[in-house]
Amino acid sequence: MKIYYSRTHANHQPPFEILDGGERSHSFEVPDRVENILSLLRQKSWAEIIEPIQLGLDPILAVHDEGYLEFLQTAFQLWTAGENNYEHVALIPATFPLGRMRRIPRSILGKAGYYMMDLSAPIGAETYPAALQSAYCSLSGAEALLSRDRSSVALCRPPGHHAGKANCGGYCYLNNSWIAANWLSRQKKVAILDIDYHAGNGTQEIFYERDDVLTLSIHADPAEEYPYFSGYSDEIGNGRGEGYHLNIPVPFGTSDVGYVEALRQAITRIVSFNPGFLVVSVGMDIYKDDPLGKFKITRNGIHQIGSEIAKLRLPTLIVLEGGYDLESIGENFLAFIENFFDQP
């Protein structure tokens, strides 16, 4: 099984984030998330760890706004070049637009408020290079499927599913799964199944009016959990995309049995859609001990979730999203992906 990984991710080290209620905290999205997975993969004979292919900006500009991409590339440099007394470690906004207030200011701080959804995706000097290589990991995994591999893995850091067409948020800057799925959709229909604890609001936004990509997300109820404003069960797509998006919110405390029931509902919809490719946005924050999650999924449950998805026997790209319990993330991720490497 090809595992796409870039050492560039380790240079992106957000020094802090702002939690709900305004508390300044250390960032939960740290390099050890991927390194702990990688240390276990290196012990497996079936894991072929590969640097991603550099495929240029066209596949990314096919899905993300050009002005937003330019912002990500230049934001930190422009901010640090300004005449101010800030501690230049990470850029986050202080002002956000409301309603129809959607002009793009010249000020870099104004642009930050325009392009950043929240306070949990600070931009540092190495954020854009890391996000770009993360996207290339998912694109490389997609290329492996196009070359007839049955499955591949993208160890994406930073993650991507909260990033919209023109915004970052929730640790995410470029929507890795969306970029890969759009690349694959040039040949066949694609289903994206998001099993991160949090709703994949960015992925939902991006494909909401398309019928060639089916998007499904199983997540904590957004009425009670981040991202709050997206991920509700009555959001089913729009225009051509009506009926091609499925949100399955599940309550806090959901255990293995309840989660697998929700998963089987999603799998039934995937089967009826009959895609040529499957992209799975995998968040290990569904695990019972994750500091940012409130589910009760065990490691055995994670293995069963992977087994249920693998039974679809579709060419599958597995994209890493969340998961913040550093002690468990490696074993949990392997418990999921080991269902796929021996597909016939």
Q: pLDDT tens digit string along 259-297? A: 999 999 999 999 999 999 999 999 999 999 999 999 999
Query: Cα–Cα distances in Å, from 320 out to 2, 169, 188, 306?
Result: 14, 16, 23, 13
- Note whether residue 314 is domain-resident: yes
Q: Averaged over 139-156, what is the pLDDT?
A: 98
Residue 76 located in a structural domain: no
Q: Which residue has the tokens 């850029």?
A: 91
In a domain, 61, yes or no: no
* Residues of the domain holding 295: 2-53+128-337
Contacts of 190 (CB under 8 A, 6+ apart): 181, 184, 212, 213, 214, 275, 276, 277, 278, 279
- Residue 218's region, left for phi above 0, alpha for psi from -120 to 50, else beta, is beta
Structural domain includes residue 69: no
In degrees and rounded to multiples of 5, residue 168 shows phi and psi of: -110, 165
Strands in 48-50's sheet, in edge-to-edge order, are 48-50, 2-4, 151-154, 316-320, 277-282, 190-194, 213-220, 245-250
Domain total of the chain? 1
- Answer yes or no: 162 catalytic: yes
The two three-digit tokens of residue 79, written as one number: 């901010």
Strand partners, 25: 17
Query: Does residue 67 form part of some domain?
Result: no
Judging by DSSP bridges, how do beta strands 48-50 and 2-4 pair with one another? parallel
Per-residue confidence (pLDDT) for residue 20, from 0 to 100: 77
The CATH number linked to 299 is: 3.40.800.20
Closest CA to 259 of 223, 292, 298: 298
pLDDT tens for each residue of 101-132: 778 999 999 999 999 999 999 999 999 999 99
Does residue 243 belong to any structural domain of this protein?
A: yes
pLDDT in tens, 299-317: 999 999 999 999 999 999 9
* 281 occurs within a structural domain: yes
Q: What is the pLDDT of residue 22?
A: 79
pTM of the shown model: 0.96
Which residue among 9, 162, 198, 219 is the active-site one?
A: 162
Cα within 13 Å of Cα(28), Cβ side: 21
Is residue 85 domain-resident?
Answer: no
